[in-house]
Structure 1
Amino acid sequence: MHGSIINLLKRFVQTQYDHSTWLRLVELSGLSSADFEMNEVYPDAHMYALVGQAALMTGIPAERLQEKFGEFLVPDLMLVYKRYVQPGWDTLAMIENTEEAMHGAVRRDAPGTRPPTLHVTRLTDKELEVRYESERRMGALAVGIIRGLAVYFDEADEIEVEPLTRENEEQVIIRVRRR
C-alpha cells in the first residue's frame, strides 16, 4: 500500500476522532511506528491491520469504514490528479476515465504501486457498470470513492451507487446510475 494512502487514513482517523486514537490504533494493530513515508510502499497487511483494528475499536464493519474512508479521500485525490481531469467531466465521466488517466499515472509515476484495475462499461447514458479487480479485496473503498466523487461534482442527490457483489472479493461489480 502506498504511504500516501496510509497517511490519508491517519488524517481520516484524526479528523473523525483524534491523534491519540490514531496512536492507539497503530499500537493495537501491532505496527512499530505511527509514521509512514509518503512515497514508500508498505505491505498491504499494514492497511488490513489498521482497518481491521479500527472496525474492532469502533464497532463499524470494515467495509463501511472503507467506504467512509473512500468518500474522505476524494478531495485529496482530485487535488493530486487535477491535471488529468478534463473540464466538463461529471461523476460518470470521471469514473469512465479513472483507469486510463489516474491509475495509468500512478503506475507510471510510482513504481511498485498496484492500484486496482477498473473495467468500466457504459450501459446507458445514465448508467455504468464498474468491475473492480484487485487482490487487495477493497471494493468497499472503491464504492466510497465513487460516492465521494458524486459529492465532489455536486451530484450526490443524483447518483446511486450499488455494489452488486460482495465488496470484499477480488472482483466487485458496482452499478453507478444517474437518477
Structure 2
Amino acid sequence: MHGSIFNLLKRFVQTQYDHSTWLRLVELSGLHSADFAMDEVYPDAHIYALVGQAAEMTGIPAEQLQEKFGEFLVPDLMLVYKRYVQPGWGTLDMIEHTEDAMHGAVRRDAPGTRPPILHVTRVAEKELKVEYESERRMGALAVGIIRGLAAYFDETDEIEVTPLSNEHEEKVVIRVRQR
C-alpha cells in the first residue's frame, strides 16, 4: 500500500480522535513507526493491522471504518488528480473515468503500487455497475470513496450507493444510481 494512504489514514485518525490515538493504534498494531514516507510502498499487512486494531479499539466494524475513511479521502484525491477531472463532471462521470485516468496515472507514476481494478458499466443513463477487483479485499473503501465523491460533487441526496456483494471479497459489485 502506498505511503500516501498511510499518511491520510494518520490524518483521518487524528481528525476523528487525536494524535495520541494514532500513536496508540500504531503501537497496538505492532508497527515500529508511526511515520510513513509518502513515496514508499508498504506491506498490505500494515493497513490490515491498523484497520483491524482500529475496529477493535472503537467497536466499529472494519468495513464501516473503511467506508468512513474512503469518504474522508476524496477531497485529497480530487486535489491530487484534479488535472484528470473535466469541467461539468459529476459523480457518475468521475467513477466512469477513474480506472483509465486516475488509476492509470498511479500505475504509471508510482511503480509497485497496485490500485484496485474497476470495471465500470453504464447500465442506464443514471446508473452504473462498478466491479471492484483487488486481492486487498477492501471494497468497503471503494464504497466510501463513491459516497465521498457524491458529497464532493454536492450530489449526496441524489446518489444511491449499494454494494451488491460482500464488501470483503476480492470482487465486489457496487450499484451507483442517481435519483
Question: What TM-score comes out, normalization by structure 1 length?
Answer: 1.00
- 1:141 matched to which residue of 2? 141
Equivalent residues in 2 for 1:1-179 (5 A)? 1-179=1-179
Cα RMSD for the two superposed structures: 0.2
State the distance in 2 between where 1:113 and 1:125 align: 33
State the distance in 2 between where 1:76 and 1:69 align: 12
* 5+ residue gaps, structure 1: none
| Superposed displacement of residue 50, structure 1 | 0.1
Secondary structure of the equivalent of 1:108? helix
One-letter code aligned to 1:126: K
| Superposed displacement of residue 85, structure 1 | 0.5
One-letter code aligned to 1:27: E
Secondary structure of the equivalent of 1:166? coil
State the distance in 1 between where 2:84 and 2:131 align: 21
| Superposed displacement of residue 20, structure 1 | 0.1
* 5+ residue gaps, structure 2: none
Identity %: 85
| Superposed displacement of residue 36, structure 1 | 0.4
How many residues are paired up?
A: 179
| Superposed displacement of residue 159, structure 1 | 0.1
After the TM superposition, which parts of structure 1 deviate over 6 Å for at least 4 consecutive aligned residues? none
